[in-house]
Amino acid sequence: MAENAKHLLIVDDEAALRTAIAERLTDHGFAVEQAANGEEALTRLAEFAFDIIITDLRLPGIDGRQVLEAALERYPDIIAIVITGFGTVKDAVDAIKQGAADFITKPFQFDALLHVLRSALEQRRLRSENAYLRSQLEERYRIDGIVGRSRVMRDLFQLLETVAATSSTVLITGETGTGKELAARAIHHNSGRRGNRFAALNCSAIPETLLEAELFGHVRGAFTGAVATRQGRLEQAHKGTLFLDEVGTMSPALQAKLLRVLQEREFERVGDSHTIKIDVRIIAATHSDLAKMVAEGSFREDLFYRLNVIPVHVPALRERREDIPLLVQHFLQKLGSELTPPRTVTVSQEAMRQLMGYSWPGNVRQLENAVERALAFTHGRSQIELGDLSPEMQAVASAHEGGAVWFPDEGLDLERYIEGVELGLIRRSLERTQGNKRQAARLLNLKRTTLIEKLKRLERGGPGAN
């Protein structure tokens, strides 16, 4: 099969007709997959960026209109052809309004279908339009800059909204680049403290000798260079929220002082004996396994439990690949508006498949950088092609064929990577079965009890979890 073959999904509950069409389209150079119902079609659409979808309107359960809506919402550039044995003018008009490229009624000649497909492909090739911006991102798929529609992200949005209504201390875990600070800001901006300051401090980015002064402030003459009294982040965040990123890098001495703040809600500036009362919400974040650090003696157990009142885990991008098209749209909107002059750019389905197949060790932050780089390499073109992606991304097998593993310069944490893949597969099986653990276990050829035990272990002690 040619490397540039168009990937096509045909959805029809008539097995004989579906198979016959699939075989003939394969003979004409298409890479064809089949789905017998709407549920199966939605699963395949979540896993792979097809170029074309052909769907019957009358399907058991989830009907063709819902499949069409889901396909166009996820991939605005996809070519959608609707077929039905109960065709009416109204059906045709509704399907075209919904975004279908064309409509064909049963029975039909295969040549007629082939003509419709080729015409639609040619129209897309000639058309330079804002396909991704045509499908506007809806508010239910984002919260304060965090974008996603996958089950794990919907669960995260719900948790953030619940947590925001409290004043409890929060510990956010997740790999580097997943958006832990965005989650912290979302909690603050949806809380009763939103009218006051959100102060952020990256504990790993400041030398230990200066971190204490940055956190607590100092008085004039407290140390060399302290020429004036200065407020620390704690005072700046009074009545608001203090976000402590990479809290696991704090020294034992500073951990003890932070513990006192959490317990007594008071502190002293460096070089001062005057106690300052404080009303501040602490949100801490880390990519490290703090529970493991406690066991090793490098992090205080009492501080860990004070911070981990409400744990929030931000999933890695490889655990929610179905969100990649939505994220790409989001970044193209943002970056396209910053160009001079502003312009709209789409992504070819071939390039999208590569993006969905990549392992993303740097998570969402790396995806944004990749989109920005690809945009620069378009040289004014209206679509990002495969050749605009970085060499390592071009070399990756598509998600449909099995993703390749990218090795960072510092090496790969094999155990952590495998646990992440395993957890991702379990979550995808649960999403496909709408949370039914027995059916999910069957998909993975596991016993139900084994799946439950694995899920508990991985969510408790897996990558970035506590």
160 in a structural domain: no
Reduced to 3 states, what is the DSSP secondary structure of residue 299? Answer: coil
283 and 199 in a common domain: yes
Query: Residue 285: which domain range?
Result: 165-313
22 and 107 in a common domain: yes
- Whole-angstrom Cα distance, residue 463 to residue 399? 21
Give the model's confidence band at 116: pLDDT under 50 very low, under 70 low, under 90 confident, else very high: confident
Of 23-27, 371-375, 408-412, minimum mean pLDDT range: 408-412
Q: Half-sphere exposure of residue 437, counting CA atoms within 13 Å on the CB side? A: 10
Picking from 264, 295, 313, the residue at the C-terminal end of a domain is 313
**170, 310 contact by CB (below 8 A):** yes
29 and 94 in a common domain: yes
- Whole-angstrom Cα distance, residue 369 to residue 11? 36
The more confidently predicted of residues 466 and 126 is 126
388 and 432 in a common domain: no
Amino acid identity, residue 58? R
CATH number at residue 86: 3.40.50.2300
211 and 292 in a common domain: yes
349 and 298 in a common domain: no
DSSP assignments along 70-110, one per residue: HHHHH-TT-EEEEEESS--HHHHHHHHHHT-SEEEESS--H
Mean pLDDT in residue range 332-343: 84
Q: pTM of the prediction?
A: 0.64
pLDDT digits 0-9 by tens, 253-281:
999 999 999 999 999 998 888 899 999 99
DSSP assignments along 34-46, one per residue: EESSHHHHHHHHH
- Whole-angstrom Cα distance, residue 148 to residue 74? 11
Instruction: Report DSSP state, residue 397.
Output: P
In this prediction, residue 139 carries a pLDDT of: 41
Rg (CA), the chain: 26
**153, 327 contact by CB (below 8 A):** no
CATH number at residue 428: 1.10.10
120 and 20 in a common domain: yes
Cα four-point dihedral sign 200, 205, 211, 214: negative
CATH number at residue 366: 1.10.8.60
137 in a structural domain: no
pLDDT digits 0-9 by tens, 51-83:
999 998 888 889 888 999 999 888 888 899 988
300 in a structural domain: yes
Cα four-point dihedral sign 425, 143, 79, 35: positive
257 in a structural domain: yes
pLDDT digits 0-9 by tens, 288-322:
999 999 999 999 999 999 999 999 999 999 999 98
Query: Is the confidence at residue 399, as pLDDT, over 50?
Result: no
Look at phi and psi of residue 261 and say left if phi exceeds 0, alpha if psi is from -120 to 50, else beta. alpha
**448, 438 contact by CB (below 8 A):** yes
* Residue pointed to by tokens 């912290």: 184
326 and 304 in a common domain: no
273 and 198 in a common domain: yes
Q: Cα 281 from chain centroid? A: 27
Query: Is the confidence at residue 201, as pLDDT, over 50?
Result: yes
- Average per-residue pLDDT for the chain: 85
* Residue pointed to by tokens 């150079």: 29
Mean pLDDT in residue range 156-179: 94
- Whole-angstrom Cα distance, residue 111 to residue 312? 55
- Whole-angstrom Cα distance, residue 93 to residue 90? 5
409 in a structural domain: no
Helix H segments across 127-226? 131-134, 151-164, 180-189, 208-216
* Residues β-bridged to residue 286: 173
Picking from 259, 283, 313, the residue at the C-terminal end of a domain is 313
Give the model's confidence band at 429: pLDDT under 50 very low, under 70 low, under 90 confident, else very high: confident
Closest to 196 in 3D by CA, of 157, 242, 229: 242
In this prediction, residue 138 carries a pLDDT of: 40
Total domains, the chain:
4
281 in a structural domain: yes
Pairing of strands 266-268, 310-313: unpaired
51 in a structural domain: yes
153 in a structural domain: no
379 and 356 in a common domain: yes
105 and 19 in a common domain: yes
**215, 234 contact by CB (below 8 A):** yes
